[in-house]
């Protein structure tokens, strides 16, 4: 079966930085709903279109293709008193701007007696990397998956 709109694609992937260091790799396949549902990077989805099981792909991903450029304005210094006592470096929380529907996942980068430094950038923002994948399975999406806009079951979303 070919990868076309409204198919579920399962794949193994690996991401390596420009020096060849492993950034991320799947142990189990991940699955996404193909056809513009934002389940995978658009440039990867486009490259996989019309491929079949067993197809491999190797793409150079620039920041604009993946996690975006690093945005200094998403680095914030907040008063220590705005956080719970048990906060630690690496903790994450959701936040946003007043009067905006946009939200970010902020990661705590530094804690002092007076301030907490948080970063709303994705950890891979601003990084170019190599994306390699192998297509493991392709199947038609179910009506429920199409109505929800994401994959259900193994390697997908569970309700």
The domain spanning residue 89 has which CATH number?
2.40.10.330
Q: Tell the residue number behind the tokens 């990867």, with chain if given.
A: 44
What DSSP string runs through 15-77?
A: EEETTS-EEEE-SS-EEEETTTSSSS-HHHHHHHTT-BTT-EEEEEE-GGGTT----GGGEEE
Task: Based on the fold, state whether residues 63 and 14 are members of the same structural domain.
Answer: yes
Task: Based on the fold, state whether residues 15 and 46 are members of the same structural domain.
Answer: yes
- The CATH number of whichever domain residue 19 belongs to comes to 3.10.50.40
What pLDDT is stored for residue 159 in this prediction?
46
Strand-pair partners of 131 = 15, 59
20 occurs within a structural domain: yes
Q: Tell the residue number behind the tokens 């579920």, with chain if given.
A: 8
d(CA 37, CA 5): 10
The mean predicted confidence, pLDDT, of the chain is 93
Could you tell me the pTM of the whole model? 0.82
159 occurs within a structural domain: no
45 occurs within a structural domain: yes
Task: Based on the fold, state whether residues 61 and 102 are members of the same structural domain.
Answer: no
27 occurs within a structural domain: yes
110 occurs within a structural domain: yes
Task: Based on the fold, state whether residues 33 and 56 are members of the same structural domain.
Answer: yes
Three-state DSSP state, 73: helix
Three-state DSSP state, 148: helix
pLDDT tens digits, 62-113: 999 999 999 999 999 999 999 999 999 999 998 877 777 778 899 999 999 9
**Where in the sequence is the domain holding 23, given as residue range(s)?**
7-67+125-148
Task: Based on the fold, state whether residues 63 and 113 are members of the same structural domain.
Answer: no
């Amino acid at each position: 079966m070919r990868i076309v709109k409204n198919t579920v694609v399962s794949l193994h992937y690996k991401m390596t930085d420009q020096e060849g260091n492993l950034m991320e790799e799947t142990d189990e396949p991940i699955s996404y709903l193909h056809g513009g549902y934002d389940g995978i990077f658009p440039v990867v989805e486009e490259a996989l279109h019309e491929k079949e099981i067993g197809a491999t792909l190797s793409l150079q991903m620039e920041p604009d293709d993946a996690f975006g450029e690093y945005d200094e304005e998403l680095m914030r210094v907040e008063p220590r008193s705005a956080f719970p006592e048990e906060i630690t470096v690496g903790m994450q929380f959701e936040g946003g701007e007043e009067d905006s529907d946009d939200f970010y996942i902020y990661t705590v980068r530094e804690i002092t007696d007076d301030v907490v430094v948080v970063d709303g950038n994705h950890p891979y923002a601003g990084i170019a990397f190599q994306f390699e994948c192998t297509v493991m399975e392709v199947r038609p999406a179910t009506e429920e998956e199409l109505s929800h806009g994401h994959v259900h079951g193994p390697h997908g979303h569970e309700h």
